Amino acid sequence: MKTHITFEYLLKGNGSEISRYFSNFHLFGKHHPYMIEVRDLGTDTQSNNLYRVHESLKILNIISMKPCYDVKVIILQPYKHIQYDSEVSKGIFLHIDYTFIEDTTTNCVKVIEAMELTGYPFINTIFINLLKKSRRLLIESIKRELKRNK
């Protein structure tokens, strides 16, 4: 079963400044509430960056999990369009598409994050709830750092 969800964020800064939080997976992992380690695996034959991610989280606030999975980061257009592909757990595939729309008059970037999760219906429901919480915490952390850096 495929599940789709889209988030939109407005972040203060220019396109290159904002998109680096998503194109540099080490920086993304620094702000992600569940990621405890991000390791470089090099590049694939199309020059996409590959990473191994270790996470630590609790499902339903009671079941402790420490998933480890690989992520492919595809930069389709620098500062404008990035994608992530990963099999986050056996049989559960996550595709994330980021679009960055810069408004130079306000010095803000609208980030559109479209996710497609393919997996088992019950697991997808739990996973979507984890994604919602992690995205709220991720964006709050990025906003705090952007504010500190001004």
pLDDT tens column, 15-71: 999 999 999 999 999 999 999 999 999 999 898 999 999 999 988 788 899 999 999
3-class SS of residue 1? coil
Question: How far apart, in whole angstroms, are the C-alpha atoms of residue 78 and residue 49?
Answer: 14
3-class SS of residue 150? coil
Domains and CATH numbers, the chain: 2-148 (3.30.530.20)
Residue 88 is predicted with a pLDDT of 92
Considering the entire predicted model, what is its pTM? Answer: 0.93
Residue 58 is predicted with a pLDDT of 87
Quick one: average pLDDT of 121-144? 93
What does the pLDDT look like over 90-118, one tens digit per residue? 889 999 999 999 999 999 999 999 999 99
Task: Write out 106-143 in H/E/C secondary structure.
Answer: CCEEEEEEEEEEECCHHHHHHHHHHHHHHHHHHHHHHH
DSSP bridge pairs for 93: 87, 118
